[in-house]
Amino acid sequence: MMDRTHPDLELQDLVDQRLDADDQARVEAHLATCDACRATLDALRRARAAARALPRVEAPPVLLHAITEELRQSARQRDGRQPVSRRRVVGYGLAAAAAALAGLYLGRREDLPAAAIDNASTSPEAGKASSLLTPDPAALERFFASRVTFHVHVYDLGMMRYRLLGGRIGTVRWHPAAIYTYAGPTDARLTCEMYPGTVVELPQPDERREHNGITFLVYRRGRTTAVFWQEGEVVCAAVSDISTEDVVALAFAKAIRS
């Protein structure tokens, strides 16, 4: 038998102002005598206010798929068992969604700067189909254009005393990426990485910089600095173990305002 002692889902309807006059009066009469339901109603209102205060972002397709699969699995596991109250059904759904969100989205956010820094330790290799050694930015752009679905602009940084070594196809965690490397004074290396995505996926930066209307997110991991910024639908990163100020300056020089 369904649990009809408490309003359960009707509390959310009350918050969303979807109840007719009779149902609203009945639910409010119950609330006047039930501490548990008043606490639930207060939690729903606070959760709604907090959600509305968040910036609007598009959830990654992998997250939406994972939430759907978690809910379907929970439903299959309940088949043949004793019916549960609507309150518990909602609880199962929220728990599954929260687990998917934490495991597949928030957790992965922490890995992106580390993944970009790991990529910087691997140089393009001669003879590999996924790599091209060339000092010609135009040739490297053509190489990337035949292998990735997003536009990759490779800059000539000669004015800043950095020469292009070449590039390769890789990933930044789950994102397909174009990765290319420059050699600077004293053979210091600068790695640039581009992948389709959004900087919303990144964790809290160590520092934020603004330049020409672009926001740069700065991460420091030991001696290495990674600077991320958004260009249209693509995230760009500049990674090096030179000084943070020099990495930021090179990112400023490379960035295009979308």
pLDDT in tens, 191-231: 999 999 999 999 999 999 999 899 999 999 999 999 999 99
Beta carbons within 8 Å of 4's beta carbon, 6+ residues apart: none
Question: Alpha-carbon distance 101 to 255, whole Å?
Answer: 31
DSSP class of residue 56 equals P
What is the CATH T-level fold of the domain 112-254, as seen in this structure? Protein Transport Mog1p; Chain A (3.40.1000)
Residue ranges for the chain with pLDDT beneath 70: 1-5, 48, 50-110, 257-258
pLDDT at 60: 57
Q: Is the pTM of this model over 0.85?
A: no
Long-range pairs of 78-86 with CB within 8 A, sequence gap ≥ 24: 83/1, 83/2, 85/2, 85/3, 85/8, 86/2, 86/3, 86/8, 86/9
**Are the C-beta atoms of residues 166 and 180 closer than 8 Å to each other?**
yes
Q: Give per-residue burial for 92-104: e unless 16+ CB within 10 Å, then b.
A: beeebbeebbeeb
